[in-house]
Amino acid sequence: MLIKSVELYKTAFKPGDYPEPKGREIAFAGRSNVGKSTLLNAIFRRRLAHTSSTPGKTRSVNFYLINSKHFFVDLPGYGYAKASHQEIKRWQALITDYFESRPHLNLVVLLLDSRHNLQKKDLEMLQWLQYYSIPFVAVLTKADKLSGNQLTKMVNSFKEELGPWGSPLIFPVSAKTRKGISELLNILL
């Protein structure tokens, strides 16, 4: 299925300030510098999600309406961000509230940098997903930065690391070359 239309439907800065559920709701989560907004723009085929060279710019929960019936939700990045401790706590509370109050959340797309094994903050997100019983797929971003052999090695490493978390589907993708984008979209839509 293709994305025929997409619009930024709602931006939520505080808990509970979310739109009424639509069809499928898919959230995108990942560390601050993993390329979430860049991937969303590649999926949308237009620059709609704000990108920046400074990690941690997504400080709200952004709802994108896809084909007038599904939400793709961009969550604030976790991990590295030049923000105050109080601001980081606010983002964590927002994400927790989102997970607890969205019964129509069908799937989380967990973005992981293909060049690095699971980090401490990734493991914390996996614990959240397990605690809330939210199914997820793993997307390995920046796949274009690795050779074919390196990427194969990292995919196998992630399969092993993610095995205890339910052996999710793993998609190596590149927003730059569009590698893996159509395969990912087939699962999401």
6-188 folds as Rossmann fold (3.40.50)
| Contact call for residues 109 and 183 (beta carbons, < 8 A) | no
pTM value is: 0.91
Across the chain, what does the average pLDDT equal? 89
- Convert the pLDDT of each residue in 106-154 to its tens digit: 999 999 999 999 999 899 999 999 999 999 999 999 999 999 999 999 9
User: Residue 124 corresponds to which tokens in the numbers above?
Assistant: 């914390």
Q: What are phi and psi of 46, to 5 degrees?
A: -165, 160
- Convert the pLDDT of each residue in 85-103 to its tens digit: 776 677 778 888 999 999 8
pLDDT on residue 143:
95
Residues paired with residue 113 on neighbouring β-strands, in sequence order? 141
Type of residue at 43? I
- Using the structure block, give the residue that is written with the tokens 């952004």: 62
User: Is residue 59's pLDDT more than 80?
Assistant: no
Starting from the edge strand earliest in sequence, which strands make up the sheet with 136-141, in order? 6-12, 61-66, 70-74, 25-30, 105-113, 136-141, 170-172
pLDDT on residue 80:
57
Residue ranges of domains in the chain: 6-188
